[in-house]
Structure 1
């Protein structure tokens, strides 16, 4: 049976008190399924793997490669322990599709040699920084599997609200190629906004709609893996907006719990909708989509 796994970012826990083990205990108590963290240095990988295994948590590993060899070296370490999936924030900014494809093809060949998925994250100041460049890359490499952090395209391109049909269709194309999510809500000007403020509600609803679309599309694919990962990734300052004294304007931990509840509710709705609409499900599955 397919399931949703909700992860908590350890980057988001940087301002929380206590050592790693105390933070993991808090994450377990809050009902998360796993954690997301940097995952390539041997000692740190071994420590995180041991600590999470003891608590029944999964790991989303993060890597910031600049070359094919960077991923190969990291996989030598990671493969000794494993993870649920590995996310690549490709720390390169190629000017041509040919150079981007060369790197991605090398990473894809390496991905075929390990038992866990390797996903390319959509992120500013990375290979996938520009939405249109990424869409062109997907047209050239339709089997490319992404990890969707949509906040970067919203603030990076200053997408308007209310949105244009073309903008939403471009985001849906990203989602049709995505096999996991990093979750925060952005606006045209800010990469991470409070879920509670009245002025942000249109953006909250828009992100909910995108996530719903992504979940429904994932569920309808004939070759989906057993679980879909979604990381609550509310970063500390300067991602988190602060006042004149440097105090955050919202409670990131409380908002991570809100996102967790929201996404799990979305998942249940999507699964129920799929189960109650077999004709719709069959239609989606039979719709041509090279991302599948």
Structure 2
């Protein structure tokens, strides 16, 4: 691995007996087809294997379910670190609505994403998208706009250089591409929707970035936790050659009032359930508990139940 640099919508009550009686827990995810729905499904399966009774609750985007988790309306969610940090402090699209009770359960493998185009097109770089119709808007998933800006900035571009095709979400953006309404779409590598698009149009090409210090600096002006991640040719749909892609940390998160025992058991299930995680969602093959679960989380805090597990597993250093 190379680096550059579902559920219940009401608060559940847990007894003092802990999780021994297969307590019900919810995991908030994005819509089916999205990377976070795939991740949430895998996490739920690993949790169920470990004795938790976990179900997923899909929503349009983390914009909606991050505050729900923060308020205790559901126990866990899967999202990206930058958006959880914004929600915690009430910044960007969460402006004026801070969620100080958000807590990190665990980091997982990074989210690696790309702008995908048709493999039979003559679009070889992001610069080739100038003047073409390109997905934009993302009214229900505002996290995507600064990510697009970050990717375009690596080639001295902005979203204004394309003709906007406004969509509410990444899934809708992929559908617009499949329908021929846009020249490309942004999505996470490994997501089910990418495989669907790949089959629908007869092959995809994922556009790479140049992993320079200058490009990383301009990307982080738009997405502060960004880094670049290397993928080998053929490792994912659309990866037609070895190359570098825009990436950032993903996590399973919870809220400050979630019972310590429940968070402990969830984190333990993820750490020890790698076979189930990978069988459910193959990109978990890149997940290494020793390497990924504990790391720099910026302004966020780990939940005490998670810290308890990390200490027991020798992953935590005060």
Q: Same fold (TM over 0.5)?
A: no
Task: Compare the two structures and name the one with the higher strand fraction.
Answer: 2
